[in-house]
Amino acid sequence: MYTAEFDYKKVSSVADALAALKAHPDAKLLAGGHSLIPTMKLRLASPSALIDVSSIPGLKGIRLEGDVIVIGAMTTHRDIEHSSLLKDKCPILPEQAALIGDPMVRNKGTIGGSLAHADPAADYPASMLALGAKMKIESSSGARVVTADDFFVGMFQTAVAEGEMLTEIHIPANTKSSAYEKFAHPASRYAIVGVAVVKHADGTTRAALTGAGASAVRLPKLEAGSISSLVSAADLLSDNFASAEYRAHLVDVMAKKALARV
């Protein structure tokens, strides 16, 4: 299948990207393209322009600033998978990155592209919620920081508004332990159900679910200590891959596996 016609513009700075977004209000940012291009081929999205941000310096990399890990939005899944800093300070992210797609996807796909696309079956949204991450969003009028709890607002919908772009992900570097368990689709490797559990330094536990609903959500029952009947089937998706009832069962199974590892 082919996409609709679109203009293509490659930019070399965040300022240029934001200016291009202002000039083309319905444009899409192109990072790795593994989420966006298939959507365009299916005509689920038909932007008038693609703004290629893949070569912007400063949007890639992983660094430690005090007790916060800063990840550039253009950092690839492969870089996350092999980051010694993340393996030491936040191992749930390398663990998740290794489960994404195949080597080609991991070499080209980016964490920022995945989060901004907000596919309901993506892996990272669950860990962002469980980690208590924050997203730095920039526009021509300045920057703002949004918590993961407020970032994911619906199916393929985030807090990133028209004319804005996600530039950084900020993650606490003082988590005690974490685990992610996924029941994956055998072909796409997307999550049919994925559960992330993180124990924080202050003694609290945060947990989140992806793949089962319109967007990733927290699991308050699991955070409160329950290990069964964590979600209602009435709140979950039912499709060709799994019924809502089966997904509800899988949530309990994946949660118990994650808890055992934590």
pLDDT number for residue 44: 83
Structure tokens, 169: 């992900």
Give the whole-angstrom CA distance, residue 59 versus residue 47: 23
Is the confidence at residue 243, as pLDDT, over 90? Answer: yes
pLDDT number for residue 38: 86
- CB 21 within 8 Å of CB 28: no
Give the whole-angstrom CA distance, residue 127 versus residue 195: 8
Instruction: Kindly state the percentage of the chain with pLDDT values over 70.
Output: 100
Average pLDDT, whole number, for the chain?
95
pTM: 0.95
Q: Given its phi and psi angles, is residue 238 left (phi above 0), alpha (psi -120 to 50 degrees) or beta? A: beta
pLDDT number for residue 67: 95
The pLDDT tens digits of the residues spanning 196-232 come to 999 999 999 999 999 999 999 999 999 999 999 999 9
Q: In the chain, what are the domains? A: 1-55 (3.30.43.10), 176-261 (3.30.390.50)
Is the confidence at residue 124, as pLDDT, over 80? Answer: yes
